[in-house]
Chain A
Amino acid sequence: MPESAQTTARQLLQGNEAVVHGALAAGCRFFAGYPITPASEIAEHLSVLLPAVDGTFIQMEDEIASIGAVIGASLAGVKAMTATSGPGFSLMQENLGFACVAEVPCVIVNVMRGGPSTGLPTSPAQGDVQMARWGTHGDHPVVVLAVSSVLDSFSITVKAFNIAEKYRVPVILLSDEVVAHTREAVQLPPQNEIKVVDRIRPSMPPDWYKPYEGDNRGVPPMAAFGDGYRHHVTGLIHDEHGYPTQNRKEIESFHERMARKISRGFPDIQMTRGFHTRDAEVLVIAYGSVARSALRAVEDARSKGLKAGLLQLITLFPFPRSTVTPLLKQCRAVLVPEMNMGQISREVQRVNQCDCRIVKHNRVDGQFITPMEITRDLLKL
């Protein structure tokens, strides 16, 4: 049985377990999911821990139902999440779009495995990156975070909930088979050192409440069902009252606010970590478990006299352009290793305004990218 979240002693945890502790520390009290490797441990541990903190766990009939229940719980005022892998994430897409449009905070963990379809159960992969960005239909901003270690799986899960609550968005947390199943010794921070953000609730009298009128950040205060602020929630494009609209101006202002609330939050949402970037002449851009190999490779290359650096992306979307672009200016070449055919390298290419040479390193054979492979490529740059 897993240890509780508040244990601050050094402990050996799996990535999936750390997600569980992060979620609990962030105040998550509802989980609905459907079993799938390599994500099932998240459900299993939460089924043990949630009821002990007056939370709720439920195993639904499929992933569509799981995210539906998560959205329902969040609308009733409870922080909620689900966890799955590629096939289940595919099924969730329609309701994920609902959470975007209806601005329902929630966290969706996708522990990536090889795809497409049933794919490679359960070899590591990063094939769902662009799907996380564009998988649900329609045009809308989305927040996608990636974890690279067990400790990240804790702290970035907390951050995922905080972003979800602060901006009223679903946040997609990408883990991968390597991070999820690797055990590392970690020391979790005590609860009182963890910053937890809760959604802003309306303070005005119910008669004044417009459920979809943004505050100065573009984020509407969120009443829970049962709080006395009766309102309408729909997947149809709606006006400030939440009622369906066909009015051109109202439709436009809806989309504008959806985009604005995220773009105003860029400095807060876009998280990266730089290693040896200050004097770097060549750079690796990596995320997820591959960032671990990349760090080792960069250090190896440095020991061989190459001024190499690593930019680890924690936020994949909104793509952290303001951090990436200056580094592209600074470096003569950038290597982007990924366990896919090049899903983030195309984003790097997109923000490359200065003819920096961008080199891909891709693996889709179900094998992890090793530090040696990356060092070898780095030395050729």
Chain B
Amino acid sequence: MVIPAQTLRHSFLRHNKKFPHVWCPGCGNGIVMAALLRAIYRLDVSKDDIVLASGIGCSGRMPTYLDFNTLHTTHGRALTFATGVKLARPSLNVVAIMGDGDATAIGGNHFIHAARRNLNLTAIIINNSIYGMTGGQYSPTTPFGARSTTSVYGHIEHDFSIAELAVTAGASFVARATVYHAELMDRLIEQAMRKRGFAVVEVISNCHVQYGRRNKLGGAVEMIRRFKEQAVTVSRAKRMSAEELEGKITIGVLKDRELPISTEEYKKVRQRARASRGGKV
């Protein structure tokens, strides 16, 4: 089902917020935003029940434009605020939007612990392999050898995989898409939001302005086309060797498992507390 862009605009963009937005033309952030809105449209939950939290970075500006309960937190901390919101009001559908630096450098500790804790939250990480907002410094996902404003001689550290980190840390659901695969992305986000448990969607995105340019990867179109060429589905990746997977981007659902959810477990804690001496309040 194709959802007309106009429907999305009229349903979800804030009418009293002055546009234009802060993003560069061609930035992948807009593609992720549209995918998120399509997912929410299909989920058919009241806008009043959605909380969109973000950290700091280009990606962090997304909630400003959207007509939900929106929370633009501090750099790296979106998941901590989201945790408080969700625990205080579990009926809310809470989504955190983060950048690669935001979620896995300064916020890395929160990210792994949110995954381990397994609250019923959705985390979307826009991974553009760079600190976009601050002008193109290297991030935890900048590849070895790449150029950034703080690695002009070539990057000497190794990147890690955000999705695999989430799997290892214990997330219930982990998926990956690229901004080329916009429709896959909205299905994955929808699945993540439906999932009971901590659900992560990593989106490989283009920052042609700060990353593409310095690494001779062309503009937005060239970068996005490259994502198409690099992408292999989870099922295909399973039949490929490690060497064949070099330089590829595995897309699809990487992990989907049922684990106890801490909001549910906490209900039991409350029952136990009431039944014990602590309950004599």
Q: A interface vs B, CB < 8 Å?
A: 1-2, 4-6, 24, 29-30, 32, 48-54, 56, 58, 60-62, 64-78, 80, 94-95, 98, 224-228, 230-236, 241, 243-244
Partner among B84, B113, B277 whose Cβ is within 8 Å of the Cβ of A71: B84
A95 CB contacts on chain B under 8 angstroms: 74, 77
Choice from B16, B47, B273 contacting A51 with Cβ under 8 Å: B273
Task: List 20 other contacts, CB 8 Å, given A69-B81, A94-B74, A232-B70.
Answer: A4-B278, A6-B281, A30-B88, A51-B266, A51-B274, A52-B278, A52-B280, A60-B113, A62-B109, A65-B110, A68-B74, A68-B77, A72-B53, A75-B81, A224-B89, A230-B67, A232-B71, A232-B72, A233-B70, A235-B72
Residue from A60, A95, A236 whose CB has the most chain B CB atoms within 10 Å: A60
Interface SS of chain B: helix, strand, loop or mixed?
A: helix
- Find chain B residues with CB under 8 A from A62 CB: 109
Contact between A32 and B269, CB atoms less than 8 A apart: no
Least CB distance, A289 to chain B, in whole angstroms? 29
- On whether the beta carbons of A225 and B85 are closer than 8 Å, the reply is yes
CB distance from A377 to the nearest CB of B (A): 44
Q: Are the C-beta atoms of A56 and B73 separated by less than 8 Å?
A: no
Q: What is the size, in residues, of chain B's interface with A at 8 Å between Cβ atoms?
A: 47
| Docked pose: A60 CA to B18 CA in angstroms | 37
**CB–CB B109/A235 < 8 A:** no
Contact A80 B281 (CB under 8 A): no
Cross-chain contact A48 with B273 (CB below 8 angstroms): yes
Taking a contact as CB atoms under 8 Å apart, the answer to whether B73 and A98 are in contact is yes
B88's partner among A1, A60, A77, A231 (CB-CB below 8 A) is A77
A70 neighbours in B (Cβ, 8 Å) = 84
Minimum Cβ distance to chain A for residue B55 (Å): 10
Q: Are A1 and B277 in contact (CB under 8 A)?
A: yes
- Is the pair A1, B278 in contact by a Cβ cutoff of 8 Å? yes
Chain B residues in 8 Å Cβ range of A61: 109-110, 113
Query: How far, in whole Å, are A80 and B69 apart by their CA atoms in the complex?
Result: 19
The residue of chain A having its C-beta at the shortest distance from the C-beta of B272 within the complex is: A51
Given A51-B273, A98-B73, A235-B74, A230 and B84 contact (CB-CB distance below 8 Å): no
Known: A72-B82, A80-B84, A243-B17. A52 touches B281 (CB 8 A): yes
Docked CA distance A50–B266 (Å): 11
Contact B80 A228 (CB under 8 A): no
Identify 21 residue pairs between A and B in the complex whose beta-carbon atoms are under 8 Å apart, listed by A's number: A4-B278, A24-B281, A29-B88, A49-B273, A60-B113, A61-B109, A61-B110, A68-B74, A69-B84, A70-B84, A73-B84, A75-B81, A75-B85, A76-B85, A76-B89, A225-B51, A230-B47, A232-B14, A235-B73, A235-B74, A236-B72
A53 contacts B77, C-beta separation under 8 Å: no
Contact between chains at B88 and A78 (CB < 8 Å) = yes
**Cβ–Cβ contact B269 & A51, under 8 A:** yes
Q: Choose among A4, A24, A54 the residue that contacts B280 (Cβ–Cβ < 8 A).
A: A4
**Does the CB pair B83–A68 fall under 8 Å?**
yes
Given contacts A65-B113, A68-B77, A234 and B72 within 8 Å (CB-CB): yes
For residue A72, which residues in chain B have a CB less than 8 angstroms away from its CB? 53, 71, 80-88
B123 at the interface (CB under 8 A from A): no
CB of B270 within 8 A of CB of A64, answer no
Whole-angstrom distance from the CB of B63 to the nearest CB of chain A?
7
Question: Which parts of B223-281 form the interface with A (CB within 8 Å)?
Answer: 266, 269-270, 272-274, 276-281
Cβ contact within 8 Å between B113 and A54 = no
Among A6, A30, A76, A235, residue most surrounded by chain B Cβ atoms (within 10 Å): A76
Contacts of A66 in B (CB 8 A): 80
Q: Is B49 an interface residue (CB 8 A)?
A: yes
Q: In the complex, which of the residues A5, A24, A53, A243 contacts B64, with contact meaning CB atoms closer than 8 Å?
A: A243
Most chain B beta-carbon contacts within 10 A, residue among A5, A24, A30, A52: A52
